[in-house]
Structure 1
Amino acid sequence: MLNSLMLDIIFRLLINMKERSESVSSVKTEANPTVDYSDSSDEEDFRNTIGNVPLHWYDAYDHIGYSLDGLRIPKKSKKEDDIDEFLAQMEDPNYWRTVTDPQTGEKVVLGDDAIDVIQNIQKARYPNSDYDPYPRYVDFFTGETATMPVCDTSLTKRSFIPSKLEEQKVRLLVKAIKARKRLKEKMGKKLSKRTFYDLWEDETPKPLSRSQQWRLKMHLPAPKMKLPDHAESYNPPAEYLFTDKELKEWEEQDEYERRLDFIPKKYSSLRLVPAYDKYLKDRYRRCLDLYRAPRKKKMRLNVNPNDLLPQLPKPSDLKPFPTQLSIVYTGHQGPVRAVDVEAGGRYLASGGDDCTVRIWEVSTGRCLQVKKCAEPVQGIVWYPGGKLTLLAVASGTRLLFINAGVGNKQKVADTDTFVDHLWKNFSKDTDWQLPSDEQDCFLLAVNHGKTISQVIWHVSGDYLATLAPGSGSSTILVHHLGTLKTQIPFSKTKGQPRRILFHPTRPQLYVASSRYLRVFNLVKQILTKKITTSVSCISGMAIHPKGDDTVIGGMDGRLNWYDMDNTVKPCKVFRYHDSCVRAVACHGRYPLFASVSDDATAKLFHCTVYNDYDKMPLIVPLKILRSHKKVEAVGSILDCTFHTTQPWLFTSGADGFFEQLFKLFSCLLVSMTTDVGSNKAVKSPLSFLHEICGKKGLTPVYELLTSQGQGNESMFVYRLCIDSLVATGKGKSKKLAKQNVALNWLMMIVEQGNHRDWSISGQTPAEAKQFLERLVAHKDDEQGGMNGDGITKPNTVYVNVLQQYCVQRHYLRPVFTEEGMCGAQHDQTFFVSVELGEYKKTGCGRSKKLAKQNAAHLMLEFLYNTPEEELNASLLIEKTDDSVMVKWTMFREQWSCKVEFKFKFQSMEFRKSFELRSLKINQCDMAYDANFSLETFKNMDLINQIPTDLHLGLFSAICSELDLDYAMSEMLDNDKNVVLFMQIRSHPSMVLVGSGKTLEEAKLSVIFKFLIALQQELA
């Protein structure tokens, strides 16, 4: 607006100047030598004659008005492009004073007078430089000139004081002269030479100086503003809006305490959003941040990632610790669930599901004593201190005290004397029980309401504690051996206790539930500490001998190390196990602790606990022991314990489930060699054969003889030749055929009696064959059977195993139910329960799938440990005449082979065909009674004679006549039509498909196809 006003004033001044003089001197330029502003000209006048009218009237037209002759005056062409403009700027000296007349579109070069007028207006002066706004006043009567104070004012005081700025300039000049520096600029303003630019110069980047490079390198960009979140939306979600309570709290808070500096509001549309009232304030704060906040360049540290890891010592420097399998203790006929070492370290006690307690000699592996119990043994502990040969055994619902009867005869006699002395305090009012003549295996017994899962002995030997889950307030009981009394320490237990331990030096009891670890002071009878663990469900616990640290194992395979005096969070977290941790043990003398898991591994760790509380414990992983086989249903390794004086580890498990052989393992301090049987037990026959051939420098030669069949019915035959000895083997795959031919070749070596020459373990050929059979059994476990078609895999899905277990034994189907979840969003634990009749087990995990697997695992473990007679009485399905004959598993296996049907069953319906004793068709005057004949059906005309609505009754009569069982499955196709599949049990390969808009139409369609196919079969 200001520019247009100035141009209008300028052109009006030019018009006035033209009117005053008939001719104005022209201005010469290089581009236009003479520009004539005279109105008198004999040549054609090209000036616009439209008058002083608004030009925006003609914005939509290609002309700007009409001439005196009524002709259209076309618009001038658009302005020149940027290149012409740039050239004119460089070459035309009057470019800066050239303007365009909006009326005529011509370029006009302003004269000096017009330039003065423009400059005066820009400087807020009067346009005419000669104009005096304050002329001197001459009095009319006296003729004297009056001096007015407006223009002739007196000098100010400031003008008499020397200028400090001039003094500073003089000081700088004097300094420069003294330093003999040449003045680069003179006092007056020196005009710089005009520079011209080459428009077509090659714009290749020139090398920068060091200072320029430094400036670019040290450039620190301003930090970006925080992006808006959902709360700043014009339509935020409901959870971001303030409630009345939150709004009141927000208003009462100070500005620096508020989480948000605005109140979120919700609008139905974007056009209803008002102007942002804090825009200027936000911009001002942003400017303050950019202006006042200092920026600092953070130097990157070139650190080697290996330097950030803790410097752990080498495992070889931390010996002694267990490294290999040494002795196998054989004798149990069931899973070995508990193992403990006597205080002197000479004897070992074990108990398992075969209802026996066995006493072993550690050094020789000889079984010294066998004590028979009435129920399976869940826990076993020796009397602490080694003064007595007394054992506390948790057998079913009873706690038994047994005299081991081994070792020093004086200790055995002292044990009997000690128990005889306890009889004096016996009272019939208690639950303590004395043995009868028939039950002479134990000295004392304590009855419980539920099955005892754990028994622990206090270090003093006078108190015991038992854990019987599901007993309510009697879940944890403390027994006083001196008075034969039982105490209930907790009137109510929070959660379901899973493990309990006495502190080795303090009067404290550790109680571990699913997620919490509670420490109780037994003297003050108060809760001293509560720890929320990070494992999904606690399954194992051990206390360090010093008593300041605790190790906890969980169902999710994690190990947590806690410093009980300093923090409630784990100091170390280990995730080395793939399955549930069954037990954790700490050595009493050596800095060692171990954990065993269902993944058939035992992990060994070195742990050094310092007396300095500011120093973290040193924990180093040492060894992974794989001496057990993996057993999916029960659990691979169930318990572990250390020797009291030697760095030996004892583990008990159920790895001989398939051979009915259950072993105990002791790992001694010996370096690993290739001659150890456990090392060979993990090899296949093929790999073992290649190993022994490599030692002798021989190369096995395999030859594929035949390959017959396709798919699941294929069969491969291989021939193996080594040192002129030939063997053959077959299998359903090439890999399996090679395994079998290698096994057959090794068997031939054993039969010839040359097994020692070929380094096959065993003193006799029978022992060598047993060794080879163990190789085959291990490989069968990995491949799922000898033929490779079994169901047992290394990572067995317990849900499938449970379902198959129930189907094979005709039990009720398991029902899984989600019980809920707990924990923060990033650390949630899910709970899933499985119900099987009247039995129910609950599993937990970090995901629903894992919780479901754990629940199925617990149910399987319960089923394996429960007598079959009891399960059959409560879970067995009664067979009746109307029972379903088509099994889901058979139907699924048959349908899994049909590759042409690639869909998932949305609903599965099994039906037993119903009998139709009388079927009358009145429309056709035909009647079919109980003596229905297939010969009559064979001659029927289903299309013309039998209406469609009677096909269902006819199909029922045929099913009754032939005693057919069938299965149907329905689904929806892409067009929302119902597709029905029917399969006859007696003809599994006969699958009929029908479709219709409704289920009834689909049924009639598939039944009609069945009737037509049956007629063709009968014909």
Structure 2
Amino acid sequence: MLNSLMLDIIFKLLINMKETSESVSGVETEANPTVDYSDSSDEEDFRNTIGNVPLHWYDAYDHIGYSLDGLRIPKISKKEDDIDEFLAQMEDPNYWRTVTDPQTGGKVVLGDDAIDVIQNIQKARYPNSDYDPYPRYVDFFTGETATMPVCDTSLTKRSFIPSKLEQQKVRLLVKAIKARKRLKEKMGKKPSKRAFYDLWEDETPKPLSRSQQWRLKMHLPAPKMKLPDHAESYNPPAEYLLTDKERKEWEEQDEYERRLDFIPKKYSSLRLVPAYNKYLKDRYRRCLDLYRAPRKKKMRLNVDPNDLLPQLPKPSDLKPFPTQLSIVYTGHQGPVRAVDVEAGGRYLASGGDDCTVRIWEVSTGRCLQVKKCAEPVHGVVWYPGGKLTLLAVASGTRLLFINAGVGNKQKVADTDTFVDHLWKNFSKDTDWQLPSDEQDCFLLAINHGKTISQVIWHVSGDYLATLAPGSGSSTILVHHLGTLKTQIPFSRTKGQPRRILFHPTRPQLYVASSRYLRVFNLVKQILTKKITTSVSCISGMAIHPKGDDTVIGGMDGRLNWYDMDNTVKPCKVFRYHDSCVRAVACHGRYPLFASVSDDSTAKIFHCTVYNDYDKMPLIVPLKILRSHKKVETVGSILDCTFHTTQPWLFTSGADGVVCLFTHLLVSMTTAVESNKGVKSPLSLLHEICGKKGLTPVYELLTSQGQGSDSVFVYRLCIDSVVATGKGKSKKIAKQNAALNWLMMIVEQGNHRDWGISGQTPAEAKQFLERLVAHKDDEQGGLNSDGSAKPNSACVNVLQQYCVQRHYLRPVFTEEGMCGAQHDQTFFVSVELGDYKKTGCGRSKKLAKQNAAHLMLDFLYNTPEEELNASLLIEKVEDSVMNMEFRKSFELRSLKVNTINQCEIAYDSNFSLEAFKNMDLINQIPTDVHLGLFSAICNELDLDYAMSEMLDNDKNVVLFMQIRSHPSMVLVGSGKTLEEAKLSVIFKFLIALQQELA
């Protein structure tokens, strides 16, 4: 028999299918009521009148409902016994499909359709076997254009007429928006917040006072208690439990020093946790916090932290600046206390505790001179301006004047003459001393009472000052070199002076003591400014070349930047060093300054000072340099100075070495040599006008001639002084105008007011004449000894040299540039295999020529066997397979032609005698040159090889090598390969005619 759930499903399906089953037995009631069978389609199969109601409602009763007459319909109980059930099972063939109707109690024999439905449900199929879940889709509307429409319903009139109802709704919405009313009917009301009120208060509302309103408005809820962490758990992790050592430390600490106010404990279960003995104390503290602790409404700004940081440029945009170690100068046997570079930038002087002063060549690192002194050297400075090779050396308690004896021989002689002239003013009453016969390393000497820690020159070269701490009123002395006299500017000094400096443009002396910086006017002899610094003790000081800013370093490792004209407080404070700052230096031409410290680091900063006083200077940290070792009781880096013309930094350390940091790994000799006379009259004029705040005005008067015969005339006007200059180019004309203007200032005797070097007009004129550097960039070729002329067309010579010897092609690369916009220096490198040389110049072309010149000098001075091992390509025919050769030459094709590969044969009766008399320019057409060339190769049995490349202008450059003895190399160019080929063949024909003639 089937279960009741299956029966319910079956009967519902039978009702829906409207199949009538034959009743096996009728239903007889106890009172034989008249049964009213309903004609309703929903209940046509029912044999009682109780309706389609659940029968479990009557489980507790002895009837199953009521008839139409209101009589009870008793339950029918025709339960057969087991025997009857067994007989029916054995005799009745429809027993297996017979079910009992739960409402009528009769037996119903299921038909075949019902059996199929039951079997389909048991097998998880669709009940109806004829149901197709995936009917065939009929595509009425296809992509194909039909002749007749599928539906031809005409459009209604209302589809073309705007709806008046919609217009009315839009009109109401527009009116509501204009009146700023909210459509509550459409939008709905916001749910009102739950209101709390006092049940016992008088219902009549009373107006609140201002204090009450303010109290309600400014009400601040109490802060929530801090949530417990893992340490307060009854079973905390092991890392939160205190060890015996930590417990002992916790007990020894005061209550306010403890991180936790309890000792974490661990229990195996929660029922073992004892009562909390600090509960009342915690509640009391919480009440105190709520009652006594004030609450404050804190306004927070929604600001991005990145917006608060200053917008600084990238260090890569601020090049050039020192980035890498280039040369190490070794030779001192102890700490090097002082270094200084001469005005030309070619020589470096250093002094140290080994009682020696060493003169170095900057470009090579070679020690040129060693001057022995009696005591350790604490200061070395060159004579300013570069006119003399005079050194001021602070050795112990004496100030020595030494002739370096390097460089221009005329300058060396001028230095001796200058000192000989000073001897005429020598007096035995002074502390100045002349050298004895045994002491010939110095020219003059000045005795001091104490050890001299610093010596400085004035920019004019007439005065120099010394600092000897502990000498009382003689701590700071000013020496006049012209009269050999010494002055004591201060009768007494406040504090202990540690550093002194002359102002670069004003008659002022900066004196830095431990905490104070004082500025004195030497003309008026008054104190003009006093600054209280924020460093613990001043250890280094430098003045910006413009003179308006000062950098101070302290023993606590801090750097302070002061604007001397606007404020007495530091504009910038840097805390980048971990130890004492030993020295600070500012570059004279580039916006750079550096600081060195005992932490073995040298830090490079970019500093741009604006002419606008309301604008703060731009200072950007650029690079941290490390090279020196720290020595106990002495320190690490003791002094630093910048190169005069290049963005290079020199540092001297306690490890006895001097290091040079540069921005490029370039040839030092070329870089230094290229700056001889680098300050042109135009750049000097612009520098002077910048300090004066004036702007030079150039006006083109005339321009005559064309091409190479052009002549330009410019007029220059500055501060009512007018000068003119002419030249073959506008640049030369401006240079001559600037030079003539400077000469007019010198002739008027105002050169010192304008900052032109020289004591007398004759010296100033001589200084201007040395600025003019005439360079011949147009002459090319080789010298008689085979070496290349400098600044000549060395690029073509180098390429021809490499082609003739089957070397790799030289590759030129731009390395960078440095300098101001009107005075830039370019760097270009040339690579030939594993060899690399770098040249520099005032233009890219000149830098490229200098690089080629250096490479040629290297090739001429290197044995040919060594070059052939790394640069030579043995067979040109095999070079196509050589990837290095292909990359070097950038070949697009490489052909080795013989007479059998020639494209055109000129004439079988060709002879060299006839060729000697040919007019190749006027009589022989260009298109015949190729056939003529083929005939010559056949006659002389010559082979040739061609290789092509592209230059910077995308023109084809063709190299042709003739296999003769000696071999001949020719170069031709053109916009196409055919033009270049005809060009090089024509050159060969001309050269061959000249050779035969």
TM-score normalised per structure 1? 0.39
- Offset at 1:543? 0.2
The 3 A distance-change label for structure 1 pair 123 and 759 is same
Are the structure 2 counterparts of residues 379 and 175 from structure 1 closer, same or farther at C-alpha, using a change threshold of 3 Å?
closer
Distance 1:799 1:632, change over 3 A: farther
Q: Which has the larger displacement, 379-388 or 200-209?
A: 200-209
Contact 2:689 2:696 in 1 (8 A): yes
> Post-superposition shift, 1:600?
0.5
Matches of residues 806-817 of structure 1 in structure 2 within 5 Å? none
Q: Return the offset for 1:633.
A: 1.6
Are the aligned partners of 2:117 and 2:127 in contact in 1 as well (CA < 8 Å)?
A: yes
Tell me the SS of whatever aligns to 2:668: coil
Specify whether residues 530 and 290 from structure 1 end up closer, same or farther in structure 2 by C-alpha distance, changes over 3 A only: farther
Unpaired stretches in structure 1, ≥5 consecutive residues = 657-663, 886-906
Other structure's SS at 1:177 match: helix
Residues 232 and 293 from structure 1, CA distance in 2 versus in 1: closer, same or farther, beyond 3 angstroms? same
Q: What secondary structure does 2:194 align onto?
A: coil
Cα distance in 2 between the residues matched to 1:84 and 1:784: 136
Q: CA deviation at 1:430?
A: 0.2
- 1:200 Cα shift? 20
Q: 1:363-399 CA deviation, whole Å, 9 max, x = no partner?
A: 1101111111111100000000001010000000000
Partner of 1:639 in structure 2? 639
Any conservation in 1 of the 2:2–2:99 contact (CA below 8 Å)?
A: no
Task: Report the CA distance between 1:470 and its aligned residue.
Answer: 0.4
Matches of 1:56 and 1:844, distance apart in 2: 110
Which moves more between the two structures, 402-411 or 938-947? Answer: 938-947
Cα deviation 1:578-616 (Å, max 9, x = unaligned)? 110000000000000000000100010000000000000
Out of 322-331 and 735-744, give the one that drifted further: 735-744
Cα pair 1:781 1:792 within 8 Å, conserved = no
- Please, which moves more after superposition, 265-274 or 617-626? 265-274
CA contact (8 A) 2:24 2:108 kept: no
Contact 2:893 2:947 in 1 (8 A): no
Shift of 1:302: 1.5
Question: Cα–Cα, structure 1 residues 725 and 263, in superposed 2: closer, same or farther, change >3 Å?
Answer: same
Q: For residues 841 and 767 of structure 1, do their structure 2 counterparts lie closer, same or farther at Cα, with a shift above 3 Å needed?
A: closer
Per-residue displacement from partner, 1:18-40 (whole Å, max 9, x unpaired)? Answer: 99999999999999999999999
Deviations 1:788-846 (A, max 9, x none): 99999999999999999999999999999999999999999999999999999999999
Change in CA separation of 1:613 and 1:839 when aligned onto 2, cut-off 3 Å: same
- Give the match's secondary structure for 1:673: helix
Structure-2 change in CA distance of 1:210 and 1:914 (3 Å): closer
Which residue does the alignment assign to 1:435?
435
In 1, the alpha carbon distance for the partners of 2:964 and 2:452 equals: 51
Match of 1:792, SS state, is: coil
CA displacement at 1:655 relative to structure 2: 2.6
Distance 2:915 2:143 in 1: 150
Identity of aligned residues (%): 95
Distance 2:80 2:780 in 1: 87
The worse-fitting range, judged by mean Cα deviation, of 197-206 and 610-619 is 197-206
For the Cα contact (< 8 Å) 1:649–1:667, is it kept in 2?
A: no
Instruction: Give the SS at the match of 1:782.
Output: coil
Deviation, structure 1 residue 361:
0.6
- Measure how far apart 1:485 and its partner are: 0.1
| Alpha-carbon separation, structure 1, partners of 2:136 and 2:451 | 126
Shift of 1:59: 70
Conservation of the 8 A alpha-carbon contact between 2:23 and 2:107: no
Alignment equivalent of 1:1004, drawn from 974, 982, 987: 982
Moved more, 578-587 or 182-191: 182-191
How many Å separate the matches in 2 of 1:732 and 1:918? 44
Task: Report if aligned partners of 1:26, 1:35 keep a CA contact under 8 Å in 2.
Answer: no
> For residue 114 of structure 2, what is the aligned residue in structure 1?
114
Instruction: Give the 3-state SS of the residue equivalent to 2:839 in structure 1.
Output: strand
| Change beyond 3 A, Cα 1:180–1:642 | closer
Once the two structures are TM-superposed, the CA of residue 138 in structure 1 deviates from its matched residue by 120
For the residues of structure 2 that align with 1:922 and 1:166, how far apart are their CA atoms?
Answer: 94
CA distance in 2, matches of 1:178, 1:229: 57
Structure 1 325/412 Cα, relative in aligned 2: closer, same or farther at 3 Å?
same
For residue 338 of structure 2, give the secondary structure of its aligned residue in structure 1. Answer: strand
Measured in 2, the distance between the counterparts of 1:654 and 1:786 equals: 48
| Residue 301 of structure 1: how far off its partner (Å) | 2.9
**For each residue in 1:454-504, what CA deviation from the matched residue of structure 2 results, as whole angstroms up to 9, or x when unmatched?**
000000000000000000000000000000000000000000000000000
The residue number in structure 2 matching 1:948 is 926
Counterparts in 2 of 1:949 and 1:176: CA distance versus 1, 3 Å: closer
SS in 2 for 1:145: coil
SS in 1 for 2:184: coil
Three-state SS of the structure 1 residue aligned to 2:29 is coil
RMSD between aligned residues: 27.9
Secondary structure in 1 matching 2:671: coil
State the SS of the aligned residue for 2:85: helix
Deviations 1:272-300 (A, max 9, x none): 99999999999999999999999999864
Q: Please give the alpha-carbon distance, in whole angstroms, between the structure 1 residues aligned to 2:520 and 2:963.
A: 64
TM-score (normalised: structure 2): 0.40
TM-fit CA distance, 1:521 = 0.3
Residue 83 of structure 1: how far off its partner (Å) = 72
Aligned residues: 991
Q: Is the 8 Å Cα contact of residues 957 and 972 (structure 2) preserved in structure 1?
A: yes
What is the DSSP-based 3-state SS (H/G/I as helix, E as strand, rest coil) of the residue aligned with 2:328? strand
- What is the SS of the residue equivalent to 1:799? helix
* Further displaced range: 531-540 or 47-56: 47-56
Q: Secondary structure at the match of 2:923?
A: coil
More displaced, 298-307 or 668-677? Answer: 668-677
CA displacement at 1:749 relative to structure 2:
70
Are residue 320 (structure 1) and residue 291 (structure 2) matched? no
Q: Is 1:643–1:650's contact at 8 Å kept on the other side of the alignment?
A: yes
- Distance across 2 between alignment mates of 1:106 and 1:29: 13
Distance 2:78 2:843 in 1: 72
Structure showing greater Rg: 2
**3-state SS, counterpart of residue 551 of structure 1:** strand
Distance change in 2, residues 1:491/1:292 (3 Å): same
Distance in 2 separating the partners of 1:334 and 1:307: 50
Match of 2:426 in 1: 426
SS in 2 for 1:688: helix
Verify the 8 A CA contact 1:232 1:264 in the aligned structure 2. yes
Residue 1015 and residue 451 in structure 1: after superposition, are their counterparts in 2 closer, same or farther (change >3 A)?
Answer: farther
How far is 1:632 from its partner? 2.5
Q: Distance in 2 between matches of 1:138 and 1:754?
A: 107
1:148 corresponds to 2:144: no
Give me the whole-angstrom Cα distance separating, in 2, the residues matched to 1:258 and 1:703. 81
Deviation track 1:961-1018 (CA, whole Å, cap 9, x = no partner) reads: 9999999999999999999999999999999999999999999999999999999999
1-structure distance, mates of 2:87, 2:775: 90
How far the C-alpha of 1:547 sits from its partner, in A, is: 0.2
Counterpart contact for 2:791–2:853, Cα < 8 Å:
no
Change beyond 3 A, Cα 1:426–1:315: same
Residues 707 and 716, structure 1, Cα contact 8 Å, conserved in 2: yes
Given the superposition, is the C-alpha separation of residues 975 and 525 from structure 1 closer, same or farther in structure 2, using an over 3 Å criterion?
A: closer
Specify whether residues 19 and 321 from structure 1 end up closer, same or farther in structure 2 by C-alpha distance, changes over 3 A only: closer
Residues 281, 849 of structure 1: CA spacing in aligned structure 2 closer, same or farther, 3 A cutoff? farther
Residues 605, 426 of structure 1: alpha-carbon distance in 2 compared, 3 angstrom cutoff = same
Kept after mapping to 2: 8 A contact 1:698/1:722: yes
- Closer, same or farther in 2 for the Cα pair 1:474/1:800, shift >3 Å? farther
Equivalent residues of 2:683, 2:823 under 8 A apart: no
8 Å Cα contact 1:322-1:648 kept in structure 2? yes
User: Could you say if the C-alpha distance between residues 669 and 567 of structure 1 is closer, same or farther in structure 2, counting changes exceeding 3 Å?
Assistant: farther
Superposed CA offset, 1:626-681 (max 9, x none): 1111223211000000000000000000236xxxxxxx766756899999999999
Cα distance, 1:632–1:270 mapped onto 2, change above 3 Å: same
Instruction: Assess if the C-alpha contact under 8 Å between 1:27 and 1:33 holds in 2.
Output: no
Instruction: Verify the 8 A CA contact 1:648 1:669 in the aligned structure 2.
Output: no
CA 242–706 in structure 1, closer or farther in 2 if over 3 Å, else same: farther
Contact 2:364 2:668 in 1 (8 A): no
Q: Deviation digits for residues 498-529 of structure 1, max 9, x if unmatched?
A: 00000000000000000000000000000000
Distance 1:812 1:771, change over 3 A: farther
Q: Which moved more, 1:99-108 or 1:951-960?
A: 951-960
Taking structure 1 as reference, are residues 955 and 605 closer, same or farther at Cα in structure 2, changes over 3 Å only? closer
Shift of the 300–568 alpha-carbon distance from structure 1 to 2, 3 Å rule, reads same
Q: Deviation at 1:751?
A: 72
Per-residue Cα deviation, 1:912-963 (whole angstroms, up to 9, x for no partner): 9999999999999999999999999999999999999999999999999999
Q: Is the 8 A contact 2:342 2:386 kept in 1?
A: yes
In structure 2, how many angstroms separate the alpha carbons of the residues matched to 1:869 and 1:855? 23
Matches within 5 A, 1:591-740: 591-655=591-655
Name which of structure 1's ranges 998-1007 and 165-174 shifts more when overlaid on structure 2.
Answer: 998-1007
Q: 1:811 to 1:609 in 2, by over 3 A?
A: same
